């Protein structure tokens, strides 16, 4: 499972003022964001009209990762912090580790959709501490003192918020917090006012990503991210199996088929950078435009969480625009000999073709 250094947990537990907790909530924002570029690339690499069910599942996960990022930002605002979303270093370097050097060697890149990518990377990112596997519940894993899990990271934040108490919530209003009923249900993205609401919001992040220790579902018929990826890898939806009276339910990837057509994926070159392509070429123009628009998305989110909450709708619009840009980008040949096409770049840039943003 994905892990981070135990010193992070120790730092959270030692945070005896809200200001000392700010950096860890900023880390949480960065962590939730860091999964979006690889997941989004996998989605965008599906050719239009192909692998529809896989696309639906990936799209749902991406939207929930955006929700989790918003939750972390609202909690930071509520205790007097200011989210930093468009700053150097906010976007991880791909391929590489996720924020806080988590993963115990896991390397995350920007790649086209593939089953090995889901199995070896995406499921590793989302793997719960207490995995509920097919048919049999696994025993809890032995403690590894040199590392801590992402679940423990959020558990520690919850515990420290409760320890510091209600007085740390100095801006329990929206704005400056962001609620977006057009995009997220009011019971998912809500104003953080006190320890209870903050901890309830963090529970949403944990359950949507990992499920619970007894069920793979975050809500009825809606598996957590780890099990949605597992369903794609195994080619069938996860379902609850009929059980014997008085015994815990079991689960199996035995529901409706999730077909995969390998020809329905663009042959992207992995981990493209703007500098890989010559100025004046179609490849350079299109990858620059994609990176510029992604940077504009981060700028809009930064402004939305720093006093201009009306910019949130613009940010979501920019996210959807990336799909349009990706269609042209991914049809642009990067290497005529291999047939690979240009993959997206998530570099933070402030100019496009020399034009200042």
Fold of 3-264: Ferritin (1.20.1260)
How many CA atoms, within 13 angstroms, populate the side-chain half-sphere of residue 322? 28
- Give pLDDT, residue 198: 97
C-alpha 334/C-alpha 303 separation (Å) is: 35
Percent of the chain with pLDDT over 90: 66
Q: Does residue 249 carry a pLDDT above 50?
A: yes
Pairwise pLDDT comparison (130 vs 76), residue with the higher score: 76
Structure confidence by residue, pLDDT tens digits, 283-322: 999 999 999 999 999 999 999 999 999 899 999 889 888 9
pLDDT digits (tens, 9 = 90+) for 18-61: 999 999 999 999 999 999 999 999 999 999 899 999 999 999 99
The predicted-structure confidence for 262-281, as pLDDT tens digits, reads as follows 999 999 999 999 999 999 99
Domain ranges of the chain: 3-264, 274-356
Pairwise CA distance, residues 337 & 71, whole Å: 45
Give me 211's structure tokens: 């499920």
Q: How far is residue 309's CA from residue 306's CA, in Å, rounded to a whole number?
A: 8
From the list 8, 3, 68, the residue with the least C-alpha distance to 35 is 68
- Between the alpha carbon of residue 19 and those of residues 12, 69, 70, the distances in Å are 11, 19, 19
Could you tell me if 306 and 315 are in contact, meaning their C-beta atoms sit under 8 angstroms apart?
no
Would you state the pLDDT for residue 139?
34
Which tokens sit at 343? Answer: 């993959």
Tokens matching residue 46: 């599906």
Pick the range with the lowest mean pLDDT from 230-239, 308-317, 348-357.
348-357
CA 101 to chain centre: 16
Report d(CA 237, CA 299) in Å as an integer: 37
Tens digits of residue pLDDT in 96-105: 988 887 666 7
| Strand ranges, E, within 2-158 | 3-5, 147-149
Indicate the average pLDDT of the chain: 88
């Amino acid at each position: 499972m994905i892990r981070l250094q135990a010193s992070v947990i120790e730092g959270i537990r030692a945070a005896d003022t809200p200001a000392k907790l700010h950096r860890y909530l900023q880390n949480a924002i960065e962590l939730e964001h860091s999964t979006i570029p690889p997941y989004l690339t996998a989605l965008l690499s599906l050719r239009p009209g192909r692998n529809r069910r896989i696309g639906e599942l990936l799209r749902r996960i991406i939207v929930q990762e955006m929700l989790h990022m918003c939750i972390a930002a609202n909690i930071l605002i509520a205790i007097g912090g200011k989210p930093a979303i468009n700053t150097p270093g906010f976007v991880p370097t791909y391929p590489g580790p996720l924020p806080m050097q988590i993963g115990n060697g896991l390397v995350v890149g920007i790649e086209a959709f593939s089953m090995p990518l889901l199995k070896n990377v995406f499921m590793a990112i989302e793997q719960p501490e207490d995995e509920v596997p097919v048919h049999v519940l696994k025993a809890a894993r032995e403690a590894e003192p040199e590392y801590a899990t992402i679940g423990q990271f959020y558990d520690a934040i919850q515990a420290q918020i409760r320890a510091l108490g209600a007085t740390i919530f100095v801006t329990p209003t929206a704005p400056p917090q962001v609620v977006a009923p057009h995009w997220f249900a009011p019971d998912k993205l809500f104003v953080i006012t006190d320890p209870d609401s903050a901890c309830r919001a963090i529970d949403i992040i944990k359950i949507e990503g990992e499920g619970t220790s007894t069920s793979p579902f975050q809500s009825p018929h809606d598996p957590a991210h780890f099990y949605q990826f597992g369903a794609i890898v195994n080619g069938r939806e996860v379902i609850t199996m009929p059980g014997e009276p008085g015994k815990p339910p079991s689960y199996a990837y035995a529901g409706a088929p999730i077909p995969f057509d390998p020809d329905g994926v663009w042959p992207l070159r992995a981990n493209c950078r703007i500098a890989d392509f010559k100025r004046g070429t179609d490849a350079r123009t299109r990858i620059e435009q994609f990176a510029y628009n992604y940077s504009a998305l981060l700028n809009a989110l930064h402004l939305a969480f720093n006093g201009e909450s009306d910019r949130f709708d613009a940010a979501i619009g920019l996210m959807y625009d990336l799909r349009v840009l990706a269609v042209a980008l991914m049809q642009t040949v990067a290497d005529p000999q291999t047939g690979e096409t240009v993959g997206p770049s998530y570099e933070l840039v402030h100019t496009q073709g020399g034009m200042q943003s």
